[in-house]
Structure 1
Amino acid sequence: MPNNKNPKYDLEERTAKFGEEVIKFANKIPKNPITISIIGQLVDAGTSVGANYCEADDAESKEEARILWQEAKKLNLIFNSITNKSKNKVS
């Protein structure tokens, strides 16, 4: 019988939830002339991971899918970097 403590769900659902969490996090960042631009970039990067996953999943060739997966991985790294740098600044 599967362990229900850590339910699994598909990658499309996970990337959608990731985008939602990015938006929630972005709403907590204090707004000023500098952070407004960064918040926009953060939301764009965080929500595009799901879009890139869907495009890669629907890709017609392996090369097209590979390119989209690489882009999604880069965006995830960018998001993680922003999150790590801002953890100490946002309470």
Structure 2
Amino acid sequence: MASQIFRSGTSIGSNVAEAQNAESKKDFIHKFKIAAKEADELQYWLKLCEQSQHYPTPDKLINDDLKSIIKIMSKIISSSKQG
């Protein structure tokens, strides 16, 4: 589970970084969609940790920050589609 958390967590940042050098608007949106999916996956793994008795419970601040990041990415995606 730790490797999945690490992979999805680091993938968010790498896809956002790739979006900064996107070849087109479509590519930019695509990279942000991937980052958003990775954030959703990370949220899933953190929920499993919360429900498990075998893993440490993530800090509430981490979950709150992740929710904010997901909202920001969703707004970036929707505004990029409009503009």
TM range (shorter): 0.5 to 0.7
Instruction: Provide, for residues 27-81 of structure 1, a one-character-per-residue CA deviation record: whole Å limited to 9, x for no partner.
Output: xxxxxxxxxxx22122111111111001001112001111111100000000001
Superposition TM-score, scaled by structure 2 size = 0.59
Gapped runs of 5+ residues in structure 2? Answer: 57-83
Give the structure with the higher percent helix: 2
Superposition TM-score, scaled by structure 1 size = 0.54
Q: Which has the larger radius of gyration?
A: 1
Quote the sequence identity (%).
26
Aligned partner of 1:55 in structure 2 is 18
Taking the aligned partners of 1:45 and 1:88, their CA distance within structure 2 comes to 19
| Secondary structure in structure 1 of the residue aligned to 2:51 | coil
Runs of 4+ in 1 over 2 A off after TM superposition: 88-91
Aligned partner of 2:47 in structure 1 is 84
Gapped runs of 5+ residues in structure 1? Answer: 1-37
